[in-house]
Amino acid sequence: MKKITFLLSAMILLFNYSGFAKGPIDPKPKPAVDTYSLTVFDQILFYDGYNSVVQLTNPPEGVICHRNDLYAKKLTDQQLAAFGTTITMNVTVKAACDNYDRIGNVNLAFVPKGDATYTPANVKRIELGRFITPFMNKNIAPNLVPYSYDVSNIAQIFKDPAITSIYDIWVELEIFGVPYAANTQIAGCVGRSDVFFGTLEFVSESDFPAEADNYLLPLSIKKDLNNYAEGATDVIGQTVRTISFDLPAAVENARFYLITSNHGANDGGEEYNRRFHYIYLDGTQVSVYKPGSLTCEPFRIYNTQGNGIYTPYPRTNSQWQEFSNWCPGDVIPIRIIALGNLAAGTHTFKITVPSAQFVGQQGYIPVSLYLQGKLSPLSVSDFSKNQFTIYPNPANDFVKVKSAEQIKGTFLFNMLGQQVTKGEADTLDLTIVPKGVYLLQVEFSNGKTAAQKIMRN
């Protein structure tokens, strides 16, 4: 009898651990993770980037065609609320009638709340990810290429009421294509102007409460850097760019998000050379890198056009590293540069590529940059030095500042770092700004400054 009881007990134990038992074995099971998936663009067709006439005559609902290479769609409040702590961005490009390597990218545009459309150059934007299309032939499989990015840092942007109370967030998909070579090289492309199909989706897991005091500062989006053009360099003859920016309050855990890629396919051009890039904050070097993957061979499968990746023969890793700084079919890295805590005031970002050579004054390096972190709360010592009170808060039309120290000026910033109004007395007029959350900076006669969030109802 004891043997039978033992055998039954063993069988029950085995049954439970085999995965067939109905009840959970773990006394403290982990909660299920909710997954949210949002397809923003679904195989939307792009056209000749050099043609100034928009050719997508019947766009999908909610899509704006800024140009043949740039489409945008607004994220609704419900969609923003559904995102969680982690966000993966997936892009798929399918061949139409462009069979060469081009670049594409995904951006966020911050558009005044309620506006039905916008001009990209007139609003703040950040680039989330950049990619290179392969040499694709639409008649040969695979005729599409996937790209994936971890963009979990934007979850905090999507959840920040200080941003979403003032701005709608639009997602842009940009793919520049040219059909002229495919018109003669690819069967079925004679006379056509369509170049690529683009699909963009976000996948997010788990939810979290909105964290206060997120800070976002767009600094540059695809602004060309080279050594020969006015506005593209600080000094003609040098490949260097300096960007100055002001922080109205201290920012904790500040990070640069930087995207660069070299272009210029002329003989000996920058597209084919790896150059060291040096990054400085306030004159101190904070990063150095040399663009380019270890090898382009994993992407050869997507290069179905006859010239493949430049030749039909595989190259070794060392050969690739000597030859090219990008791979057709690959992503361009998002470089995250940790800066620590930054004090309020003026700072400078500098990028320099001292060995860059733009043969025949051709080529460029598009630079995209933004800063993200968390606004530092005012400490007790700050209050003891500059005793002040802001009231009412929330406010309707006016806000007053009371302080034992003489007030020199007040400055109101939105949550993208833009100064929207200022005052010279202790009263600030809010009637000229939209309802939402702002950062009020107070400058005292002793040279000290302090800042506090306020809300206009």
CATH number of the domain to which 356 belongs: 2.60.120.230
* 20: in domain: no
* 3: in domain: no
Domain range spanning residue 446? 380-456
* 451: in domain: yes
Considering the domain architecture, whether residues 193 and 331 belong to the same structural domain is answered as no
* 52: in domain: yes
Each of the 457 residues of the chain gets a pLDDT tens digit; together they read 444 443 334 443 333 433 333 334 444 454 455 899 999 999 999 999 999 999 999 999 999 999 999 999 999 999 999 999 999 999 999 999 999 999 999 999 999 999 999 999 999 999 999 999 999 999 999 999 999 999 999 999 998 988 999 999 999 999 999 999 999 999 999 999 999 999 999 999 987 665 667 899 999 999 999 999 999 999 999 999 999 999 998 999 999 999 999 988 777 778 888 899 999 999 999 999 999 889 999 999 999 998 778 888 899 999 998 877 789 999 999 999 999 999 999 999 999 999 998 988 889 999 999 999 998 766 444 545 557 788 898 999 999 988 888 888 899 998 888 899 998 778 899 999 998 888 888 888 888 888 888 889 8
Considering the domain architecture, whether residues 196 and 337 belong to the same structural domain is answered as no
* Domain total of the chain: 3
216 CB neighbour count, 10 Å cutoff: 23
| Residue whose C-alpha is closest to residue 208's, from 372, 374, 88, 86 | 86
Considering the domain architecture, whether residues 148 and 62 belong to the same structural domain is answered as yes
Biggest CA–CA distance in the chain, Å, is 95
Domain boundary among 166, 191, 210: 210
Give the global pTM: 0.88
**How far, in Å, CA of 214 to CA of 209, rounded?**
13
Considering the domain architecture, whether residues 407 and 280 belong to the same structural domain is answered as no
Note if the bond before 112 is cis, omega within 30 degrees.
no
**How far, in Å, CA of 106 to CA of 244, rounded?**
25
Considering the domain architecture, whether residues 206 and 230 belong to the same structural domain is answered as no
Considering the domain architecture, whether residues 348 and 369 belong to the same structural domain is answered as yes
| Residue whose C-alpha is closest to residue 332's, from 91, 71, 109 | 91
**Residue type present at position 36:** Y
22 Cβ contact list (under 8 Å, min separation 6): none
Considering the domain architecture, whether residues 223 and 332 belong to the same structural domain is answered as yes
**52 — alpha (psi -120 to 50), left (phi > 0) or beta?**
alpha
144 Cβ contact list (under 8 Å, min separation 6): 92, 93, 94, 95, 136, 197
Considering the domain architecture, whether residues 311 and 339 belong to the same structural domain is answered as yes
Domain boundary among 160, 186, 210: 210
- The residues facing 421 across adjacent strands are 412
Question: Under a CB-based contact definition with an 8 Å cutoff, are residues 174 and 109 in contact?
Answer: no
Question: Under a CB-based contact definition with an 8 Å cutoff, are residues 354 and 415 in contact?
Answer: no
